[in-house]
Structure 1
Amino acid sequence: MDLHQLFVFTKVVEHKSFSKAADEIFLSQSTVSSHIQALEKMLNIKLFDRVGRESILTPQGERLYQWALKLLLIKDQALLDIKEGMTDLRGMIRIAASSVPGQFMIPRMVKQFRKHYPEVTFHINQSSSKIVAEKVLNGSVDIGILGEKYENDKLRYIPLVKEKLVLITSNHNEMVGPVKIRDILNYPFVMRNSSSGTNALLERVLKKNNIQKEQLNIIAYTESGQSLMQFVIQDIGISIISEIAAREYSSNNMLKMHAIYGFDDERYFYLVYNINKTQSLLSKLFIDSAVHLVDGKLG
């Protein structure tokens, strides 16, 4: 059985598309189709059903996919074993990340990882924490990094960084020093969307302080952390966001960051992976070293 054909097969499975798989691995769509047809002919089975625009695995295709992942992992391990160093490892790691990790954590992690494995390519998809968890569950990414846990027996979480939320205002806002949580009721407020980890923590804190979400003067909801920052910088509203994100803007004097009295709730950012997904050797190395990648101490 040709390992390259199996590699091409796994990419079609992951993208549910011959054309998208071809784009990723720099082959023509006709070449990808030829590889799949050769596999089907050799095994005398049908691997995909065409459903709308997507190519969906048949039951036989699903079984082959699981074996293909294992065989490709064994190939990587064999290459690693017979080479003196690990810098020759190459391949792609797919990561889904919520907004704060995607903007402020992953670039540092990628930089650290590529010092040791310079032939690695990363595909980063940024979305809400809930969607990150869904992508990890359905296997469309290898790893997720997010700010909220969504419990599922298939998901394993590794704590990376602990942080808290802070209030941010424009440089023109008259607020000074630590503020009380109820002070935010007096100002226009910009809110993250409901599926973000930041929003989930904020709603828990509001409930803890007997504040209904409806009491806030919410002028805008946004899925984009950068858009939210611009609302605040332009003095359109205030917001409560990740301290990690706020610190970057505050240190550059783009906005003001305030602690909140009694706002002691903290959260973790987690790496999450699917225990039922056979990881490539590179993905496994990234998972195992994630904590050190964040703090810059990967030896």
Structure 2
Amino acid sequence: MDLHQLYIFTKVVEHKSFSKAAEVVFLSQSTVSSHIQALEKALNIKLFDRVGRESVLTPHGERLYHWAQKLLFIKDQALLDLNQGMTELQGMIRIAASSVPGQFLLPQMIKKFRMDYPAVTFQIYEASSKVTAEKVVNGTVDFGIIGDKYENDRLHYIPLLKEHLVLITSRNINLSNPVHIQELLDYPFVMRNTDSGTNALLEKLLKKNNISKNHLNIIAYTDSGQSLTQFVKEGIGIAIVSEIAANEQEGELEKYQIAEFEDERYFYLIYNKQKTIPLVSKLFINNADKFI
């Protein structure tokens, strides 16, 4: 078996598409198809069935994917062992992150990792915490960084950083600090969408204080943390956000502690325990807590 063909095969599996896999490996779709056909011919098995627009693994394909991951991991280990210096390690790390860790944690983590491994490249997807967890489960990425926990036996959680939620307002609003949640019910709110870890924690804290989200005067929902803070700067509404995100806007917004919101949360690095993770990604995972 050709290891390059196996690598291309794993990309088709993970993206469920020949065209998307071609983009990832920087080849034409016809070249990717040729590699898969050559692999099928060499092994005398069918690897994919076409179901609509998706390429779905056959039972033989599922078994080969399992072995391909192991073989590619062994190849990475061999190359690392043969390299004279650790800095020669190459490869691509695929990461999904929710908005807060994606904006405020991941850049510094990557910067520190590249000090030791400058030849490594990164493919980064920003999504909600829930979508990030789904990408980790289905193998689209090597690992993710999120601000909430989801029940799934495949996921392993590594705590990275502890924080809590705060209130942000425009500089035209003056409140006592700390502020009480009841004082805020008449103000217009801008909220993150439901799938975000920040929104999930906010709903838990509201419920703990016997406040329904329906009691808030919500005027807008947004997927973007940057868009949310811009709404607040313009005085359109107030928002409850990650303290890390709020600290980045110091001087442009007012930040308040919320008396009833003493609970803290973690940002977690998550990976799929049932997937063979590429060596270069495993190195990042094993050292992630040192990069914060």
Which bracket does the TM-score occupy, shorter chain normalised?
over 0.9
Structure 1 residues 265-286: Cα deviation after superposition (integer angstroms, max 9, x where no partner): 1000000000001000011111
The offset of 1:186, in angstroms, is: 2.2
Higher mean alpha-carbon deviation, 281-290 vs 118-127, is at 118-127
Query: How far off is 1:177 after superposition?
Result: 2.7
Counterpart position of 1:268: 266
How much does 1:236 deviate? 0.3
Residue type of the alignment partner of 1:62: E
Of residues 12-21 and 231-240 in structure 1, the stretch that sits farther from structure 2 once superposed is: 12-21
Please give the per-residue CA displacement for 1:83-134, whole angstroms capped at 9, x wherever unaligned. Answer: 2212122111111111100111111111111111111111111111111111
Aligned residue number for residue 259 of structure 1: 257
Equivalent positions of 1:44-193 (< 5 A) are 44-193=44-193
How many correspondences in the alignment? 292
d(CA) in 2 for partners of 1:198, 1:34: 45
Residue 29 of structure 1 pairs with residue 29 of structure 2: yes
CA distance, structure 2, for counterparts of residue 126 and residue 82 of structure 1: 35
5 Å-filtered alignment, 1:192-231, equals 192-231=192-231
Alignment match of 1:281 (pick from 279, 282, 290): 279
Residue 176 of structure 1 and its aligned partner are, at CA, apart by 4.2
Aligned-partner residue type, residue 256 of structure 1: E
Percent same amino acid among aligned pairs? 70
Asked whether the equivalents of residues 83 and 89 of structure 2 are also in contact (C-alpha less than 8 Å), the reply is no
User: What is the alpha-carbon distance in structure 1 between the residues aligned to residue 258 and residue 181 of structure 2?
Assistant: 6
1:297 is matched with none
Moved over 3 A (4+): none
Structure-1 separation of matches of 2:145 and 2:256: 26
Deviation string 1:229-282 (CA, Å, 9 cap, x unpaired) is: 1110110000100000000011xx221111112321100000000000100001
Aligned-partner residue type, residue 257 of structure 2: A
In 1, Cα distance between equivalents of 2:25 and 2:38 = 18
How far has the Cα of 1:5 moved from its partner?
1.0
Deviations 1:153-181 (A, max 9, x none): 11100000000100000011122432111
Cα distance in 2 for partners of 1:113, 1:210 equals 44
* 1:21 CA drift (Å): 1.4
3-state SS of paired residue (2:158)? strand
| Alignment match, 1:14 | 14
Unaligned 5+ runs, structure 2: none
Aligned to 1:234: 234
Distance between the aligned counterparts of 1:48 and 1:232, measured in 2? 50
- Whole-angstrom CA distance in 2 between matches of 1:254 and 1:245: 12
Report the AA paired with residue 168 of structure 1: I
Residues in 2 aligned to 1:8 and 1:58: alpha-carbon distance in whole angstroms = 16
- Aligned-residue CA RMSD (Å): 1.1
What letter matches 2:37 in structure 1? Q
The two structures have a TM-score, normalised by structure 2, of 0.97
SS of the equivalent of 1:198 reads helix
Match of 1:159, as an amino acid? Answer: P
Amino acid in structure 2 at the alignment position of 1:13: V
Cα distance in 1 for partners of 2:152, 2:24 equals 30
Distance of 1:151 and 1:193 partners within structure 2 = 20
Structure 1 residue 196, shift from structure 2 partner: 1.1
Q: Give the match's secondary structure for 2:206.
A: helix
Structure 1 residue 11: deviation in Å?
1.2
- One-letter amino acid matched to 1:84: Q
